[in-house]
A and B are shown apart, each in its own frame.
Chain A
Amino acid sequence: NAGVTQTPKFQVLKTGQSMTLQCAQDMNHEYMSWYRQDPGMGLRLIHYSVGAGITDQGEVPNGYNVSRSTTEDFPLRLLSAAPSQTSVYFCASSYSWNYYGYTFGSGTRLTVV
């Protein structure tokens, strides 16, 4: 049981490049979400999904796109990377949108130069 798998673990991008951060879970969780973690701040919600085909914006969605074509996968796309998007990104999943238990991936450290 792998839990929540995030790839890559580290990435360096140039300003203006695009990329996709991958998140996959094998627990048949309905709810999935993306957070970013910046120094001196708590995690902030970027986008979330309550089930396949359904996504919504969180607190800091600008510059990011998501889609949820399957229950297992929830990729996060950076359309045109900016230095302000340098951060650690976490994917988390839960049995349901209204369940308190989250499982986190191990994070992706992204640096935009």
Chain B
Amino acid sequence: AQTVTQSQPEMSVQEAETVTLSCTYDTSENNYYLFWYKQPPSRQMILVIRQEAYKQQNATENRFSVNFQKAAKSFSLKISDSQLGDTAMYFCAFMDSNYQLIWGAGTKLIIKP
């Protein structure tokens, strides 16, 4: 069965610092999608970034970038110049060949002023 593991239950950094959230997954599939979602206290699930497994280039969205290591089945999220509004739960998710999402347990990120 496919699994997604986020090994950091909680992290905190100072505002403007860079932080990296870890995610590993287990699958035997070759083509799939990986996602990072942000869930602020409002509970809304917000897509941060998406990576297609067939693309070697790491996805980037403004201050958010990923380090996708397909062979190692690793998909970390880097947040640069962190802001107070980045405080949230962050979930890593894997989309299998049936287009179903499998979720990690989440990392609580706190940005301190």
- A contact residues vs B (CB 8 Å cutoff): 31, 40-45, 48, 58, 88, 90, 92, 94, 97-102, 104, 106-107, 109
Contacts and interface: CB of A to CB of B under 8 A. Distances in A.
B102 A106 contact: no
Contacts of A48: 100
Interface of B: 4, 9, 33, 42-45, 47, 50, 91, 93, 95, 99-106
Contacts of A41: 105
A40 B50 CA distance: 23
Contacts of B102: 42
Which of B43, B50, B103, B104 gathers the greatest number of chain A CB atoms within 10 Å? B43
Given A88-B43, A106-B42, 17 more contacts: A41-B105, A42-B4, A42-B91, A42-B102, A43-B93, A43-B103, A45-B100, A92-B45, A94-B99, A97-B99, A99-B99, A100-B95, A101-B47, A102-B101, A104-B45, A107-B43, A107-B45
A5 to B, nearest CB: 12
Contacts of A94: 99
B99 to A, nearest CB: 5
A44 B9 CA distance: 18
A106 B44 contact: yes
B101 A45 contact: yes
